[in-house]
Structure formats: C-alpha cells, structure tokens
A and B are shown apart, each in its own frame.
Chain A
Amino acid sequence: DIQMTQSPSSLSASVGDRVTITCRASQGVNNAVAWYQQKPGKVPKLLIYGASTLQSGVPSRFSGSGSGTDFTLTISSLQPEDVTTYYCQQYTSVPLTFGGGTKLEIK
C-alpha cells in the first residue's frame, strides 16, 4: 500500500497568511494526487486533482504542486472560511489511500 504522510497535522495561521500543507507518498504516485477540504459534519470537497489542476468552482487562492513523492497544497491568502481540515489522496494504485489530515485554525 502507498502511505500518504501529511504534515503538519495541525496549523495555526492568520487571515491573509500564505499557508502550505505537505503530503509525502511512500512511493512515486505519477502526480495522481488529490486534495480535499472537509468542514465539520460535511462531505469532503475536491479542491485539486492531478496534483495541480484546480477543480471547477474552487477559488484561485488554492493551488497544488509537486511531483514524484512530495506534494503541497497552498492557500495564497488565508480566508476565515478556509479554517477547517484538509486531506490528500493518491489514486495511482489500489488501495486508494488518504493522508491523515491537517486541521487549519485561525491564530
């Protein structure tokens, strides 16, 4: 199985800050990486797929980058509504696997 290790597990930042979340795969995943945002009690929302392609309707302050085994999700200017939990996922091979999540809080 491909393990997806997300860091940090929690992060505190101020409105307007640039925020970066990292995901490291235990082996190469051919850029088949997705990022999700999940608010409490809600279904996960797809933000990024193919490591860097923005899903339709997602604000442009979200971006994804990386290749091989190391990937990042960046929020260019943190907004209050971005304060929630984020997950990465690889879909290059089964079993499809998720990172453990990053909880983003306002400082």
Chain B
Amino acid sequence: QVQLQQSGPGLVEPSQTLSLTCAISGDSVSNNGAAWNWIRQSPSRGLEWLGRTYYRSNWNNDYAVSVNSRITINPDTSKNQFSLHLRSVTPDDTAVYYCTSGWAFAIWSQGTMVTVSS
C-alpha cells in the first residue's frame, strides 16, 4: 500500500523559497508507470495542481503556468522521495500543500499548511 509522508516548514518569509519533501513508501519514485505531484489548496485558488515529476527512461517534469517561473520538483532516488521548491513566495502562496501520486489521486499526503508571512 502506497503511503506519502510530507515534511517541511509551516512558515516561510516573503521572497524566500518554500521547500517541502514527500517521502514514498510502498512504491518507487523511479517507477516507470507512476507520476508524483504537488497540489495546493486555498480559499482564493481552490485546488490547484502545481506540477509533477515522473520517470520514463529519463526524468520529466510538468509545471503549471501560474508557477512555472518559480517552481522546481526534484526526485531523490537515494531516499525514495521527491521535493517541491517554490521561489520568491508571496502571501498569495499561503495554502495547504499536498503531495499525491498518479493522475486520479487516490493517495494523498497528510498536507502541510504553509503560511507566507514575516
């Protein structure tokens, strides 16, 4: 049974980088048939898919246009996890952040409420 365990700070200062990690158990980040996503949810934006990483003979990423210039999602095969880095955050990036697997999301992490504030 696949499980996702998320970690990272709940408070980030404006203009800094938001960094979260999602540890995978029960599957491999390198699984050739899987995809690993980051999603956020806020009252103003609703549920918003941010991007994903996946392995198909080589590593690939897809990102939402709204964050494309600020986001990086990296796999870490040595630790079987993947990470989100969102640069130059503003209060508008305040949200609950989740990691998920697949395309229709049966598996979610527990979520992290991230507040952008000084």
Which A residues form the contact surface with B (CB < 8 A)?
1, 32, 34, 36, 43-44, 46, 49-50, 55, 87, 89, 91, 94-98, 100-101
Contacts and interface: CB of A to CB of B under 8 A. Distances in A.
Nearest to A6: B46
Interface of B: 37, 46-49, 52, 62, 64-65, 98, 103-106, 108-111
B49 A97 contact: yes
Contact of B104 (A46, A97, A100): A46
B49 A95 contact: yes
B49 A34 contact: no
Given A43-B98, A43-B110, A98 B104 contact: no
Contacts of B109: 43
Contact of B106 (A50, A55, A87, A98): A55
20 contacts: A1-B65, A34-B104, A44-B47, A44-B108, A46-B104, A46-B105, A46-B106, A49-B104, A49-B106, A50-B104, A87-B46, A87-B47, A89-B104, A94-B62, A94-B64, A95-B65, A96-B103, A97-B49, A98-B48, A98-B49
